[in-house]
Each structure stands twice: as C-alpha cells, then as structure tokens.
Structure 1
Amino acid sequence: MTGQDGEAIDPGVIELAGRLFDMARGGATDELAAYVDAGVPPNLTNDKGDTLLILAAYHGHAGTVAALLARGADPDVVNDRGQTALAAAVFKQSTETVGHLLAAGAEPDAGGPTARQTAAFFDLPAMTALLERAGS
C-alpha cells in the first residue's frame, strides 16, 4: 500500500490505523482518546472516507463521540457515501450521540442524505424533533 505521495506505508502504521478504527467502532473511549492526545489526527479517515467520529456515532458510542469532539473532530466531515456522523447517529436513533453532535455544531443539512432527510425517510419523529429543536 502507498500513501498520497507514492511512498510505501509502513505495515505497522496500517495495522495501528486499523486498530484505531476498531476502537472507534467498539467504543474504546479512553484508549482512543489517548492516541488522539498523543498525536493521531482526530479526523483520520479510512479507505471509505469514514472518520473515527462517523464510526463511533454509527455504533452508538456517545462517550467516544464526545471525547473525539472535545479533541477537535469535525462533526461535518462527509464520507465517500455522503454520510455524516450526525446522519449516522440519527439513523441509529442514538439520542445522546445526536445531542453531543448538535452541541458541537453539527449541521443537520450536511451531506446526503442529510440527517434531516434520514429522519424523514425512516420516519423517526423523535430524531426529527431533536433536529428541529437544534435549528430553532
């Protein structure tokens, strides 16, 4: 595997990145936060454009989401499929995660489908109400 500059990426770096994404999926908040505190970019993306934040949000790990946001993760990064962390949290109906993302300034109309469109499409009135309150 090569990086953007054509240089070979150290297999150890690839292995570490895989572990970091697994930590986000699994909600290993303290361990992941320690890596970010040590210099891992909070907006690190995988080969699908998913950030650590998107993965944590999709898997409903509100504490991990809060920790990543506190360390500078951008709530409005869009993955290769047009999804944001907020749309993922809405889809999973994770009220606490949605709350953290909205408090951090996540845009309900970012991406595509947006968080609002996701709530409407899947008929999620509680999520729609949360998003509406954030917009007022």
Structure 2
Amino acid sequence: MMRPLFRSLLSLAGVLCVAQAGAQELPPEWQGRFTDAARPRAAVPATAMEYADIRRTGDDAGPRNYRSADHALLSAARRGDWAAVNRLLKAGAAPNVRDAWGDSALVHAAAAGETETVRALLAAGAAPDRRGASGFTPLGAAALAGHHKVAALLLKAGADVDAKSANGHVPLIDAVLLDRDEVVGELLRASPDWLHTEREQGRHALSLAASLGHLRVLDRLLAAGFDPNLPDRAGFNALYWAVFRKQRLAVAHLLASGAQPGAMSTDIYD
C-alpha cells in the first residue's frame, strides 16, 4: 500500500527537480505548473564584466552593450591621450562607458585638468557625479588637483557640491586641506554645507584652514559667511585650532572677523 505512494512522491520530486530545464521536458499534464517566467534577455548579464558592474552598482537597467570604440575611449583617458578621447567622442563613443571597476573617463579628465575634454564629455552626456575606480567624483578629483576651471564646469553641469568621495570627504574639505584657494572659491559659489568635516579630527572647513594656516582660504570662507564661532564635530571652533596650532596670523584674522575667545587665552608662546 505504501510502495505505490512512495513511488508517486519520488516521481513528483523528480519532476520538480527537472522543471527548470524547460517545460518541453515535462509530461504534458505538468507543463506550466512549476516553471518560472523567463526573464527578459536584456536584463540578464551576458559577460563577467557586465555582471561585476551590476553587482557594484546595484543597477541592472542601464545600458551595458558597449562597443569597442567605447572601451577605446576609456583606455585613451587612462593613458592621457586626450586627442584620442575627443576624436572618439566626436565619432559617437559613449561618454559614460565604465568597466567592472567603475572607471570613468570624466574622472580622469577632471583629475588631469583637461578643461576642453571635460566640456566635451559633459556636452555628450557624461554623468557629472559618477565616481571613478579611485572612488573620487569628478568634482572631488578636480578639487584635489586644484583645477578650478574644471570645478566650475562640473558645477555648472549640475555636479553635487556636497557629494562625498571614497575618502569620506566632500570636495571643499579636500580643497581646504591642500590649500586650493581658487577651487575653494568655485565651490563656495555653489553654497556648500558648512557642517561637513574631515574624518580624522572632525574639523570643518574653517577649522581646517585655521589650524593649517591657509590664510587665503580662511579669508575666502569668512567672506562667504562662514560663522567664525561655529563649533566643529569635536566641539571646538576655528579660533581654538588656530591657537592650538600656533597660527598667529590665523588668530588675528579670526578675531578681526568676530571670533569670540571667551575664557580662552589667544596668546601664543613658543
């Protein structure tokens, strides 16, 4: 009595195991009962590079059928052959081409200060905030390298002034750290958030400029309306950092701009 039932269960299990092989392999009475609906072919990654790109970005809807000319554009950007990049763009290469590591032609051009190539890539539709393989946004790369004209182009194209790169910093913080005075000027025109801080000690842009003695950057920040008494993430203001780092001129500039010492002595002794 139990043996026929056991055989039936085994048969059903076998049917379920082979169901994914295709409905045509099932008996007619079982067809259509256990098979999943087929995914559209366009949504299935065809190559290891496409699959890696989908895993990295979480986006399986964007175009990935790049042509050889598209990859040639990315390769030319990596090696700094800007004439080739512009030639391939004019021939119709995709400006947003990326590889499994997420590399970006626009980030390479921004880091190199290639203003006209950046202009051409943006005009062709390059995404202004897409990070490159280094983890930096185009604006972050331009800020690091001090290319203020490139920064201005990216901001005009809609780049997010407060977008963080892989190092956890917004472009303003990196520009202040490296004393990129002209880049800071361009970023300030885009009204960045004052409250972003650097990751080591939690200093905001004004505290950084004061502690490093970057006076031109300090004056730009104060002129743009940065509150000299605004505490940073650690609870200290720019005047504290200027005194702590023995930056006499920074102390003088901050006091002249309304910094309040309170009970803190602003005398600096060697």
Q: Normalised by the size of structure 2, how large is the TM-score?
A: 0.45
Deviation at 1:111, TM superposition (A): 4.1
Deviations, residues 74-117 of structure 1 (Å, cap 9, x unaligned)? 11111232211111211222222111110111223324343223
Name the counterpart of 1:127: 217
Deviations, residues 31-60 of structure 1 (Å, cap 9, x unaligned)? 112111211111111245411001001101
Larger Rg: 2
The alignment status of 1:67 with 2:143, answered yes or no, reads no
**What does residue range 1-136 of structure 1 map to in structure 2 within 5 Å?**
1-3=52-54, 4-5=57-58, 12=71, 13-14=97-98, 17-113=103-199, 114-135=204-225
SS at match of 2:176: helix
User: Do the aligned partners of residues 17 and 127 (structure 1) sit closer, same or farther apart at CA in structure 2, a change above 3 Å counting?
Assistant: same
Superposition CA RMSD, Å? 2.6
% same residue: 29
Counterpart of 2:98, as a letter, is: I
Unaligned runs of at least 5 residues, structure 1: none
Kept in 2: contact 1:86–1:108 (CA 8 A): no
Q: Normalised by the size of structure 1, how large is the TM-score?
A: 0.83
SS at match of 1:81: coil
User: Would you say how many aligned residue pairs link Structure 1 and Structure 2?
Assistant: 136
Kept in 1: contact 2:103–2:133 (CA 8 A): no
Unaligned runs of at least 5 residues, structure 2: 1-51, 72-96, 227-270
Q: Which has the bigger relative contact order, CA under 8 A and spacing at least 6?
A: 1
